[in-house]
Amino acid sequence: MTLREINFDGIVGPSHNYAGLSPGNLAATRSAGAVSRPRAAALQGIGKMRANLRLGLVQGVLLPHARPDRRWLGELSTSYEDASAHLRAQALSASAMWAANAATVSPAPDTADGRCHLTVANLLMMPHRSHEWSETLAQLRLAFADPAFVVHPPVPAPFGDEGAANHMRLSVTHDAPGIELFVYGERGGSFPARQHREASEAVARAHRLDPARILFVQQSEAAIAAGAFHNDVVAVANGPVLFAHEQAFEHRERVHADICRIMPEAEIVEVPADRVSLADAVSSYLFNAQLVTVPDGTITLIVPGETRAHSSVWAWLSEMIAGNGPIRRIEMVDVRESMANGGGPACLRLRVVADPATVDPRFLVDEAKLDRIAEVIAAYWPETIDADAIGDPALIVRLESARAALLGSLDLVELTYR
């Protein structure tokens, strides 16, 4: 088997809107009530995937969920037509586009049975996300039906699990055994900690990981209080490199020492707080970037265009690239519309190390397939959604038709009724 890192990006759904449903997500809160641009957001996501393909990366997709979620509303003994405005907004959320929250992934080299394990995140800390898991589970079991994978259902309540956004892996190469870091939180100021240590421990057991190569790391309360609602807002890892803010972890020195003890080849690139404040790190989404290894071996940081607008952030990045560190290249992408709802390049993708030949090919893309997806988006996605339009029956018909058209174009109609 040839193991490659595959980035599965969530296609931004046609119901993308700014309802401000996520406490602790400062960007989403700031945008609450604004007019959203679903078509532009989705096409920006396609552009990001094209950029990944041009870098020589393997690219996949995860599909928008059925919105509104009529099944969930039925479990609440109501319908979209009869529900309160708040329930309607929660049922219409397009937040499944944040594929980093879809699942936690442990590649085959790390597991006792030599299979790639995925555990679907329960996302129970946020009501608008808590009903995503069943459709995510259906998609992952279809995409990863090959015996090379094991797809687990979510950790049960009351233990919150937010998936790969709070999980990192370090390894010399993608196909070598790695260290898996499970980052959990405690309350940070007035904001909830979304990842519970008990959930992380349950995932590690389910994935049959070597206890000697696992670290359970507490996210700093200061980072959560500053709006780092997931670890991937203040830290990201790839290969042997950990790229993190100085205040990412509650017990920073211990975390660094443990990483180096288990994996002496690890390289820690730390951004000092006196150069880039937590506030600037969060608002620029410096760490919510894709840190990838391109085919020639160059470790590359894919950042949102917003990083250039922050003088302290861009100055530090420029100095880093001019130096002799492990991160040698920066690429910029435009995901402005999704950034306004609280997620940058890293939020939009789930990383899976696997042999691409073992993945259902309908979930893998090339330029031609992205052309087809872009055509559907241009024809069916709403150009804008006003904050007060979520109850418009005509909008709901359009949203449901848009998703059906996309599934049909990808020959994935079996997901229609999931």
Residue 81 annotated as catalytic: no
Residues with Cβ within 8 Å of 388's Cβ and at least 6 positions away in sequence, in order, are none
Q: How far apart are CA 336 and CA 329, in angstroms?
A: 21
Tell me whether strands 267-271 and 241-245 are parallel, antiparallel or unpaired.
parallel
Residues with Cβ within 8 Å of 12's Cβ and at least 6 positions away in sequence, in order, are 38, 41, 42, 44, 45, 64, 94, 97, 337, 338, 348
CB 61 within 8 A of CB 311: no
Q: Angle of helix 393-409 relative to helix 367-380, nearest 10 degrees?
A: 160
Catalytic residue among 230, 306, 310, 337: 230
H or E element at residue 50 = helix 38-54
The Cα-based distances of 355 to 62, 118, 146, 402 in angstroms read 17, 15, 11, 31
Q: How far apart are CA 219 and CA 189, in angstroms?
A: 13
With 0-12 CB in 10 A as exposed, 13-18 as middle and 19+ as buried, what is 205? exposed
Strand segments (E) across 24-64: 58-62
Catalytic residue among 5, 135, 162, 337: 162
Tell me whether strands 179-184 and 214-218 are parallel, antiparallel or unpaired.
parallel
Q: Angle of helix 367-380 relative to helix 38-54, nearest 10 degrees?
A: 170
Residue 347 annotated as catalytic: yes
Q: How far apart are CA 308 and CA 321, in angstroms?
A: 14
Catalytic residue among 128, 250, 331, 347: 347
Residue 116 annotated as catalytic: no
Sheet of strand 235-238, all strands in order from the earlier edge strand to the far edge: 235-238, 241-245, 267-271
Chain centroid to CA 9? 8
Q: How far apart are CA 209 and CA 207, in angstroms?
A: 6
Rg (CA), the chain: 20
The residues annotated as belonging to the active site are 162, 230, 347
